[in-house]
Amino acid sequence: MKRILKCQKCHQYTMQETHSCGGTAITPKPAKFNLEDKYGRLRRKAKEDEWKKAGLI
Ligand SMILES: [Zn+2]
């Protein structure tokens, strides 16, 4: 199975564990959806409060 790796040094995708730039390539991890969702909710909440203060809601 072919794996796509991502160089930790230059952030380029590669198939080799040691990239030509000398950096170590690792399997790219999916984004931390939970964390992003948490921040997204906080952002939305903050916006809502803003709208309420501005009298838009
Ligand atoms: Zn690299």
Q: How much is the pTM?
A: 0.48
Q: Ligand 1 centroid vs 20 CA: distance in angstroms?
A: 6
Query: How many Å lie between the centroid of ligand 1 and the Cα of residue 42?
Result: 35
Could you tell me which residues are beta bridge partners of residue 24? Answer: 18
pLDDT of res. 7:
95
Q: How far is the CA of 27 from the centre of ligand 1 (A)?
A: 13
Which domains occur in the chain, in start order? 5-53 (2.20.28)
Q: What is the pLDDT of residues 1-57, one digit of tens each?
A: 578 999 999 999 999 999 999 999 999 876 665 666 777 788 888 888 888 999 977
What is the spatial distance between Cα 37 and Cα 55, in angstroms, rounded to a whole number?
Answer: 26
What pLDDT does 33 receive? 59
Q: What gap in Å lies between CA 4 and CA 11, rounded to an integer?
A: 12
Task: Specify the pLDDT at position 29.
Answer: 74
